[in-house]
């Protein structure tokens, strides 16, 4: 045993450069970066009472709306200024038109019964498609009549077609393939 110990003592020690790190060593900057990437995200910033008051002063909305917008903005990591900007950039939702429908078979339904929103900016084609889906038929077989006028131009918005809230439509479901021409002269089906 003494012989093996003397051989190790005679062997020169390994030389490691001063700037070389031992294997498995992580520098301080690398440790901070690794900890930051694996750490859970910081909790969202909480709004103060002053934030709500400032939002009300800037926008003129009621406090409940201010609380909703500011809390939502802060939960997404936005500042108070960004929440005010988001409030003004958010377009108001278009109201759903309340329209009653009656078919040539005598059945009645309303826009609430359709699986989709019907607004003044909806096109005649979109409304025809929703009614067709309601009756499980093809849109080309649906005729919509409002105040004695057949809505023929599919590209026209309901507002441009003169449709108003609480209007009553007659829905005619055609049996055969039907085509007619719009005012512009193009074929519509």
Please give the pLDDT value at position 101: 93
Please give the pLDDT value at position 125: 93
Give the Cα separation of 173 and 137 in Å (integer): 9
* Start-end of H helices in 90-163: 124-134
Please give the pLDDT value at position 145: 93
Please give the pLDDT value at position 81: 77
pLDDT in tens, the chain (189 residues): 555 555 555 555 555 455 555 555 445 555 555 555 554 555 556 677 788 888 888 788 888 888 887 888 888 887 777 777 777 777 766 678 889 999 888 889 998 888 778 888 889 999 999 999 988 889 999 999 998 889 999 999 998 998 888 899 999 988 865 555 445 555 544
Give the Cα separation of 1 and 80 in Å (integer): 77
Give the Cα separation of 45 and 47 in Å (integer): 7
Question: Is the distance from CB of 118 to CB of 127 less than 8 angstroms?
Answer: yes
According to DSSP, residue 106 is labeled S
Please give the pLDDT value at position 26: 47
CATH assignment, 100-180: 3.10.20.90
Give the Cα separation of 12 and 54 in Å (integer): 74
The residues, any chain, with a CB within 8 Å of residue 52's CB and separated by 6 or more, are 63, 66, 67, 70
Give the Cα separation of 16 and 22 in Å (integer): 9
Give the Cα separation of 175 and 134 in Å (integer): 16
* Start-end of H helices in the chain: 2-10, 28-38, 49-59, 63-75, 80-89, 124-134
Please give the pLDDT value at position 179: 53
CA 152 to the chain's CA centroid:
32
Residue 97 CB neighbour total at 10 angstroms: 20
Please give the pLDDT value at position 170: 93
Please give the pLDDT value at position 126: 92
Residue 117 CB neighbour total at 10 angstroms: 15
Phi and psi, residue 34, nearest 5°: -65, -40
């Amino acid at each position: 045993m003494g012989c093996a110990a003397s051989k190790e003592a005679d062997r020169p020690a390994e030389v490691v450069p001063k700037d070389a790190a031992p294997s498995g060593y992580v520098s301080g900057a690398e440790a901070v970066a690794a900890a930051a990437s694996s750490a859970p995200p910081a909790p969202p910033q909480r709004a103060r009472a002053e934030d709500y008051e400032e939002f009300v002063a800037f926008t003129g909305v009621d406090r409940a709306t201010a609380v909703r917008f500011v809390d939502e903005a802060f939960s997404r990591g936005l500042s108070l200024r960004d929440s005010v900007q988001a409030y003004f950039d958010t377009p108001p939702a278009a109201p759903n038109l309340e329209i009653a429908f009656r078919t040539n078979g005598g059945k009645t339904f309303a826009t609430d019964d359709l699986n989709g929103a019907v607004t003044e900016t909806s096109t005649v084609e979109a409304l025809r498609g929703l009614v067709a889906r309601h009756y499980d038929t093809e849109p080309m077989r649906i005729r919509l009549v409002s105040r004695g006028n057949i809505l023929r131009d599919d590209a026209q918005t309901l507002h441009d077609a003169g449709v108003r809230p609480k209007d009553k439509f007659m829905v005619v479901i055609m049996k055969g393939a039907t085509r007619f021409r719009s005012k512009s002269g193009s074929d519509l089906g």
